[in-house]
Amino acid sequence: MRNIIIFMAMALAIAITGCNKKPASVSEETVKNFIDQTTVENVIKSLADSLGGEHQFRIERGVQQAANLWRESDGTVSDFEKFCKQNFIAGEQELEKLYVRLERNFEILNGYFHKMDVMLKEPLQLEGPEIEPVDMMFGSYNASAHLTDDFFSNKIAFITALNFPFYSLKEKTENSASWSRRDWAYARMGDRFTSRVPAEIIQNASEILTAADTYISDYNIYMGKLVNEKGEALFPADMKLITHWGLRDELKSNYAGENGLVKQQMIYSVMKRIIDQSIPQEVINKGDYTWNPVENKIFKDGAEATFTSEPDKRYEVLLNNFHAMKAIDAYNPNFPTYISRAFEGGMEIPQEDVERLFTEFVSSPGVKEVAAFISERLGRPLQPFDIWYNGFKSRGGIPEEQLTAITSKKYPTPAAFQADLSNILVKLGWEKEKAQQITSLISVDPSRGAGHAWGAEMRNDIARLRTRIGANGMDYKGYNIAVHEFGHNVEQTVTMNDVDYYMLQGVPNTAFTEAVAFLFQKRDLELLGMPNADPNKEHLMALDNFWSSYEIMGVSLVDMKVWKWMYENPGATPAQLKEAVIAAAKEVWNKYYAEVLGGNDEPILAIYSHMIDNPLYLSNYPMGHLIEFQIEQQVKGKPLAAEFDRMYTQGRLVPQVWMKGAVGSEISIQPTMNAAAEALRALK
């Protein structure tokens, strides 16, 4: 499934702040400050002498911030001094007036530029005619690329940076006990201008990320064209699956039914061909040939044909992402690598802490115990693709074909799903009027790709739910994903429209929206009117969360290793990067998975599409699983809608502070591990 907030990387590129800790690897280039430190100190002293010591902190932080961003093109040193003395605001009421005006106008600009972006990308992301070169030109165009430059030219950026200090992650955490909601909003305003990235670099990053998104959205495998050594087709003739999401979900669905294990092994062979780029170009998004992925042979009219392997395109796209993000490094003094921007800045959890959390989990003794239980249930030794085992999904023994018959009839078109959204929320506990209010701001669209959720950037604008619905209606897998994406949309809509300050709209990081999406997704059968009466439901849910976390944490560890490698080897070729990615995947597999799932040097952790089209997003999934489990424990026995509103209207606080407010404790692997251990005891 493709559960993304589109182009998170662009938000990280433009405006990020957080802790002052710098990673070992920094950009070789730096942008030299035009305003010297002596001038900064003289301006600070002058303002402090005239306004009084109670403003000392804001004066020091604000003047230094403005000086770091000032360039020769903005004016002389004298102009800088004059600007600071005339525009620093000491009075509390005057400062609030400035905040209100900045907040209003940023919402207008963010909202309408976002709407333009959504509409320009529709030909790339929604079902329709074949994508033409001009569609790519418009879709990759970033209409707001010059907006930040304009804010510096007209001094809006400087008046913001001068009056609203930025706080490190450590400072935000320490001050949280005493800060009011307005203090938090002011702090987030202080996050708005902490870097100054040239417009041409932002535009380039937009083009590169759009190209990556399009590459993945159009990467489909015609499953009916796959054959075994006897030339037999095992999958339906009309089945077309996007990689990796569709392939993975089809693999999951074959734990039951005829030829299930054989189908899984064939899908696994397809995945490995994609990873090592030995896949024939002739079978990517085309159905002209039959293909034996195990032997890697293609056939036309029964005769073997020659082919050309995909020329490391997958890794060229990944490398382009790296270069686009690295080009921004020199303009981010607080976060001089994309790794630091993604974690300390975007996620607001240090990368080292995330890696430590994941490593502790995947190496825990409980993993082997759960794996042994799965092996016992399957009646065979585990194989590498059992990393996607989904037998803990308690569906009351209902076959997927039967579920698909229900969903395809209920939702034959996107419009049918759209019409049912408010009813879904009512079933989850929302009052009818509030459910209609929320869903009136959500639009369901037919997606070219696997589907995604895309929130609005201003109040009363539309959030997008993109999903795939075939000619025969929405199958169960598609329904399951659509419910997940709907969870994203509800979070996006509520945290945009119901949070008290615009600068606090949203969630601490995207792991928190993933948590809501998982919360919705696991209730998919209840929403079909098929409540799960299984007495072991809670235990199975705990094991499902545990195994899902184990799976995606390994993928995330590979993703982090790959980005560190790219920073250490910035001149690498796509071929060299391919070898490095495969080596990283094998290393993580051998260390944490081989003993549990069998196989040595298995590359399968490198199959994830988000590694290619959404830089360093993957860590949000396992964090989302951990957060979701803690939230699930919190809402147990309570009205879901009321608890959701209480937690999510906190808005964009830093993650650990948000979690304390929501569930009373910080993010931890322990609740998931404890629940899995308890589940094993009960089920055995």
- Give the list of residues 6+ apart from residue 651 with CB closer than 8 angstroms, or none: 184, 495, 499, 500, 501, 504, 505, 506, 507
- Give the list of residues 6+ apart from residue 358 with CB closer than 8 angstroms, or none: 553, 556, 557, 619, 622
C-alpha to C-alpha distance for 547 and 319, rounded to whole angstroms = 31
Q: Which phi and psi (to 5°) does residue 2 adopt? A: -115, 85
Helix (H) or strand (E) holding 14: helix 8-14
Quick one: average pLDDT of 503-522?
91
Quick one: average pLDDT of 223-237?
96
Quick one: average pLDDT of 318-338?
93
HEC readout, 60-98: HHHHHHHHHHCCHHHCCHHHHHHHHHHHCCCCHHHHHHH
Q: Which residue has the tokens 């895309």?
A: 454
Low-confidence winner among 386-400, 451-465, 526-540 (lowest mean pLDDT): 386-400
The burial class, CB within 10 Å (0-12 / 13-18 / 19+), for 683 is: middle
pLDDT of residue 624: 86
Q: Give the neighbor-by-neighbor strand order of the sheet with 297-300.
A: 290-292, 297-300, 303-305
Quick one: average pLDDT of 384-408?
86
SS3 state of residue 222: strand
Quick one: average pLDDT of 77-90?
97
SS3 state of residue 227: strand
Over 90: is that where the pLDDT of 198 sits? no
Q: Which two tokens stand for residue 515?
A: 């948590």
CB 484, CB 523: distance < 8 Å = no
Label residue 30 by pLDDT band (50, 70, 90). low
CB 404, CB 476: distance < 8 Å = yes
HEC readout, 298-328: EEECCEEECCCECCCHHHHHHHHHHHHHHCC
Q: Which two tokens stand for residue 153?
A: 């030219």
pLDDT of residue 590: 98
Query: In the 8-state DSSP scheme, what is residue 277?
Result: T
- Give the list of residues 6+ apart from residue 97 with CB closer than 8 angstroms, or none: none
CB 668, CB 630: distance < 8 Å = yes
Over 60: is that where the pLDDT of 118 sits? yes
| Closest listed residue to residue 651, CA positions, set 194, 339, 183, 195 | 183
**470 bridge partner residues:** 473
Q: Which two tokens stand for residue 600?
A: 């040595």
Query: In the 8-state DSSP scheme, what is residue 291?
Result: E
Low-confidence winner among 13-27, 45-59, 327-341, 392-406 (lowest mean pLDDT): 13-27
Low-confidence winner among 71-85, 223-237, 357-371, 398-412 (lowest mean pLDDT): 398-412
pLDDT of residue 17: 33
Burial 162-195 (b: 16+ CB within 10 A, else e): bbbbbbebebbbeebeebeeeebbbbbbbbbbbb
How many CA atoms within 13 Å lie on the side-chain side of 600? Answer: 0
Quick one: average pLDDT of 598-621?
95
Q: Which residue has the higher pLDDT, 510 or 672?
A: 672
Quick one: average pLDDT of 277-291?
97
Label residue 397 by pLDDT band (50, 70, 90). low
Q: Which residue has the tokens 């860590």?
A: 619
Over 60: is that where the pLDDT of 459 sits? yes
Over 70: is that where the pLDDT of 248 sits? yes
Over 80: is that where the pLDDT of 533 sits? no
pLDDT of residue 164: 98
Quick one: average pLDDT of 542-568?
97
Torsion from C-alpha of 427, 433, 438, 442, nearest 10 degrees: 80
Question: Residue length, the chain?
Answer: 684
C-alpha to C-alpha distance for 536 and 532, rounded to whole angstroms = 10
Q: What is the mean pLDDT of the chain?
A: 92
Q: Which residue has the higher pLDDT, 91 or 624?
A: 91
Quick one: average pLDDT of 635-640?
90
C-alpha to C-alpha distance for 464 and 466, rounded to whole angstroms = 6
What would the DSSP string read from start to end of 426-472? HHTT--HHHHHHHHTTEEEEEBSSSEEEE--SSTTPPEEEEE--BTT
pLDDT of residue 518: 86
Q: Which residue has the higher pLDDT, 405 or 510?
A: 405
pLDDT of residue 93: 97
Quick one: average pLDDT of 45-57?
93
Label residue 18 by pLDDT band (50, 70, 90). very low
| Closest listed residue to residue 5, CA positions, set 621, 437, 454 | 454
pLDDT of residue 647: 97
C-alpha to C-alpha distance for 314 and 317, rounded to whole angstroms = 5
**Percent of the chain beyond pLDDT 70?**
95
Q: Is the dihedral of CA 295, 297, 301, 305 positive or negative?
A: negative
The burial class, CB within 10 Å (0-12 / 13-18 / 19+), for 305 is: middle
Low-confidence winner among 98-112, 133-147, 153-167, 603-617 (lowest mean pLDDT): 133-147
Domains of the chain: 32-195 (no CATH), 216-314 (no CATH), 400-533+621-683 (1.10.1370.30)
Label residue 29 by pLDDT band (50, 70, 90). low
**Where do runs of H (alpha helix) occur along 168-257?**
169-175, 181-190, 199-217, 245-253
Q: Which two tokens stand for residue 240?
A: 């077309």
- Give the list of residues 6+ apart from residue 438 with CB closer than 8 angstroms, or none: 422, 425, 430, 490, 493, 494
